[in-house]
Amino acid sequence: MVATGSETTKKSPRLDRAHTLMKEAGIDLLLVSPSADLRYLTGYARGTSERPTLLALQPDREAAILVPELEAAGAAQIAGGRVVTFSETDNPYAVLASALGFSAGGVQPSRIAISPQMWAEFLLRLQATFDATFVSAAPLLGRLRAAKGPDELELLERAGRAVDAAVGQIVHTQFAGKTERQIADEINRLLQDQGMEVAPWGPIVASGPNAASPHHLTGDREIREGDTVILDFGCTHEGYQADITRTVHVGEPNDEFKRVYRVVQEAQQAGVEAAREGVPAQTVDRATRRVIDDSGYGEFFVHRTGHGLGLDVHEEPYIVDGNELPLQAGMVFSVEPGIYLPGKFGVRIEDIVALTEHGASRLNNARREVVIV
Ligand code: ZN
Ligand code: ZN
């Protein structure tokens, strides 16, 4: 085991705030594995492997990061804390416990919070090592990351402009005769041309009756005249996400489509207007739902109104009934109501908004009127 006191240790406001939240929650050890949480706290953006990487935070103590010996150089440059390494034959969990000053039969932490994306294998090994109560760190990390700083907002805005531009370009494509997959590939190309990384989850291109399935798996269906097509896609810029949905129509739409589209458009606007500092997150969901309920389509709005977005594409604040988390300036989330008529079509309109003290400001400004393709 090698424990290096790093001279590069910087004062980190994010770590300081994590310490404050830990004290409030009575957590004496927070363990974070590779994830957006780790990247947010340390800048370290490594993927997970079977060799554990674990950031260990204790209130008022220097941060420690456990990494395999062969990755020590990379961790030392960015972690801003003490690097603890283990060799191929060490027990990494015992190495960690000892580096933190814990021992079997001696001092033990009482409450350990575990980051939500930690592999079950790591958690089981930690449970065998520490005699403590294990809790989820999701509430703490969610609160920590929900309000974005100016540097984060800039990256989110940049990613938002890229998806807007891709919408602006894709609607000039001939849709009829192409498959959903071909349109998805074209969208990804438009994003990559702007220097963006494509999001691993999309694009969702849902055509005709497929548009009635909110998370349709893009496939080989050929798009035809008369189809509705939902385009839901994102990209990543320096780790920060974009996410947008527009619904286009191939050829002239009928009255039912126009009616449904107008309701979704009004609901989306109502949601954006309801977002104010201090109101519970569920207020925004209720605002979109009221418009759709009043139109008689309530039973066809089958998902929550939105989700927070930052280093993860889904994070706090979740815009859903029951979430009483007060909205605060700096929070960034989607407003994406939809109506899905099984066997027929669906309509969804999604923008990301950033909350300011004056209300919600849209990070997406691509045309929101029906586009005929
Ligand atoms: Zn989306
Ligand atoms: Zn979304």
Residues that place a CB less than 5 A from ion ligand 1: 232, 243, 245, 350
Question: Ligand 1: distance of its center to the CA of 242 in Å?
Answer: 8
How do 332-335 and 351-356 pair as beta strands?
antiparallel
Q: Is the pLDDT of residue 9 over 80?
A: no
Please tell me the predicted confidence (pLDDT) of residue 5.
44
Asked whether the beta carbons of 54 and 129 are under 8 A apart, the reply is: no
Question: Ligand 2: distance of its center to the CA of 46 in Å?
Answer: 25
At 136-180, the pLDDT tens digits run 999 999 999 999 999 999 999 999 999 999 999 999 999 999 999
Please tell me the predicted confidence (pLDDT) of residue 202.
86
User: Which ligand places an atom closest to the C-alpha of 203?
Assistant: 1
User: Which ligand places an atom closest to the C-alpha of 230?
Assistant: 1
State the Rg of the chain over Cα.
23
The percent of residues above 70 in pLDDT, for the chain, comes to 96
- Binning pLDDT at 50, 70 and 90, where does residue 10 land? low
Question: How far is the C-alpha of 163 from the C-alpha of 22, rounded, in Å?
Answer: 37
User: Which ligand places an atom closest to the C-alpha of 312?
Assistant: 2
Please tell me the predicted confidence (pLDDT) of residue 8.
42
Question: How far is the C-alpha of 93 from the C-alpha of 35, rounded, in Å?
Answer: 19
Mean pLDDT of 278-302: 98
Instruction: Report whether the peptide linkage leading into residue 317 is cis, meaning its omega lies within 30 degrees of zero.
Output: yes
Question: How far is the C-alpha of 131 from the C-alpha of 177, rounded, in Å?
Answer: 62
At 312-363, the pLDDT tens digits run 999 999 999 999 999 999 999 999 999 999 999 999 999 999 999 999 999 9
47 CB burial (10 A radius; 0-12, 13-18, 19+): exposed
Please tell me the predicted confidence (pLDDT) of residue 2.
44
Question: Ligand 2: distance of its center to the CA of 243 in Å?
Answer: 5
The percent of residues above 90 in pLDDT, for the chain, comes to 90
Question: Ligand 2: distance of its center to the CA of 308 in Å?
Answer: 8
Question: Ligand 1: distance of its center to the CA of 276 in Å?
Answer: 22
Question: How far is the C-alpha of 113 from the C-alpha of 280, rounded, in Å?
Answer: 26
Question: How far is the C-alpha of 210 from the C-alpha of 230, rounded, in Å?
Answer: 9
Please tell me the predicted confidence (pLDDT) of residue 46.
85
User: Which ligand places an atom closest to the C-alpha of 234?
Assistant: 1
User: Which ligand places an atom closest to the C-alpha of 233?
Assistant: 1
Q: E strands of the chain, at which residues?
A: 2-4, 29-32, 54-57, 64-68, 82-86, 111-114, 133-136, 197-198, 204-207, 228-237, 240-249, 306-308, 315-319, 332-335, 338-341, 345-348, 351-356, 359-362, 371-372
Please tell me the predicted confidence (pLDDT) of residue 1.
45
Question: How far is the C-alpha of 226 from the C-alpha of 210, rounded, in Å?
Answer: 13
Asked whether the beta carbons of 272 and 364 are under 8 A apart, the reply is: no
Contacts of 239 (CB under 8 A, 6+ apart): 36, 39, 45, 155, 311
Residues that place a CB less than 5 A from ion ligand 2: 243, 334
Question: Ligand 2: distance of its center to the CA of 189 in Å?
Answer: 20
Please tell me the predicted confidence (pLDDT) of residue 124.
97
User: Which ligand places an atom closest to the C-alpha of 309?
Assistant: 2
Question: Ligand 2: distance of its center to the CA of 300 in Å?
Answer: 18
Question: Ligand 2: distance of its center to the CA of 320 in Å?
Answer: 13
Asked whether the beta carbons of 50 and 122 are under 8 A apart, the reply is: no
Q: Is the pLDDT of residue 199 over 70?
A: yes
Question: How far is the C-alpha of 331 from the C-alpha of 113, rounded, in Å?
Answer: 24
150-170 helix and 180-192 helix, angle to the nearest 10 degrees: 130
- Binning pLDDT at 50, 70 and 90, where does residue 255 land? very high
Q: For 238, which DSSP code? A: T
Structure tokens at 254: 């009928």
User: Which ligand places an atom closest to the C-alpha of 348?
Assistant: 1
At 45-81, the pLDDT tens digits run 888 899 999 999 999 899 999 999 999 988 877 656 8
Question: Ligand 1: distance of its center to the CA of 245 in Å?
Answer: 5
Question: Ligand 1: distance of its center to the CA of 323 in Å?
Answer: 20
Question: Ligand 1: distance of its center to the CA of 271 in Å?
Answer: 16
Residue of 371, 355, 354 whose CA lies nearest to 363:
354
CA atoms within 13 A on the CB side of 289: 15
Question: Ligand 2: distance of its center to the CA of 292 in Å?
Answer: 18
User: Which ligand places an atom closest to the C-alpha of 307?
Assistant: 2
Least confident piece of the model among 80-84, 168-172, 211-215: 80-84
Q: Is the pLDDT of residue 366 over 90?
A: yes
